[in-house]
Amino acid sequence: MPTLNKGLLASLTALSVALVTGCSGGSTGDEASADGGGYGECEVYGEAGSISLEPVTDGVLTVQTTLPSPGWWKGETPDSIVGGYEYCLAANIAHRAGLDAVEVENVSFDALVAGQTQDFDIAMAQISVTPEREKVVTFSAPYFDSNLGVLAPADADVTEDDIRERTVGVQLGTTSVAWAQDQLKPNTEPQLFQDTTSMVTAVSSGVVDVAVQDTAIMLGFAKNSGGTLKVVGQFESGEKYAAIYPKDSTSGETMNQAIDAMRQDGTLDELSATWLGPELGGDPATVPVWSLR
Residue 30, pLDDT above cutoff 50: no
Cα distances (angstroms) measured from residue 72 to each of 28, 86, 90: 25, 5, 11
Q: Assign 263 to helix, strand or coil.
A: helix
Please write the tens of the pLDDT for every residue from 182-228. 999 999 999 999 999 999 999 999 999 999 999 989 998 999 999 99
Give dist(CA 203, CA 124) in Å, integer. 26
Task: Kindly state whether residue 39 falls inside one of the protein's structural domains.
Answer: no
What average pLDDT does range 255-283 have in this prediction? 91
Residue 25, pLDDT above cutoff 50: no
Please count the structural domains in the chain. Answer: 1
The helix (H) or strand (E) run that includes residue 112 is: helix 109-113
What pLDDT score does 3 carry? 41
Give dist(CA 92, CA 104) in Å, integer. 14
Give dist(CA 220, CA 46) in Å, integer. 29
Give dist(CA 243, CA 213) in Å, integer. 18
Please write the tens of the pLDDT for every residue from 95-105. 999 999 999 99
DSSP letters for 47-102:
-TT-S----SBTTEEEEEE-S-BTTTBBSSSGGG--B-HHHHHHHHHHHHTT-SEE
Task: Kindly state whether residue 165 falls inside one of the protein's structural domains.
Answer: yes
Give dist(CA 258, CA 265) in Å, integer. 10
Give dist(CA 256, CA 51) in Å, integer. 11
Task: Kindly state whether residue 215 falls inside one of the protein's structural domains.
Answer: yes
What residues make up the domain containing 167? 147-238+286-290
What pLDDT score does 280 carry? 82
Task: Kindly state whether residue 1 falls inside one of the protein's structural domains.
Answer: no
Please report, for the domain that includes residue 197, its CATH number: 3.40.190.10
What pLDDT score does 202 carry? 98
Task: Kindly state whether residue 117 falls inside one of the protein's structural domains.
Answer: no
What is the pTM assigned to this prediction? 0.68
Task: Kindly state whether residue 209 falls inside one of the protein's structural domains.
Answer: yes
Task: Kindly state whether residue 108 falls inside one of the protein's structural domains.
Answer: no
> Do residues 217 and 5 lie in contact, with contact meaning Cβ atoms separated by under 8 Å?
yes
20 vs 166, which has greater pLDDT?
Answer: 166
Give dist(CA 115, CA 136) in Å, integer. 6
The type of residue at 149 is G
Q: Torsions phi, psi of 117, nearest 5?
A: -95, 160
Task: Kindly state whether residue 104 falls inside one of the protein's structural domains.
Answer: no
Give dist(CA 192, CA 240) in Å, integer. 23
Give dist(CA 47, CA 97) in Å, integer. 9
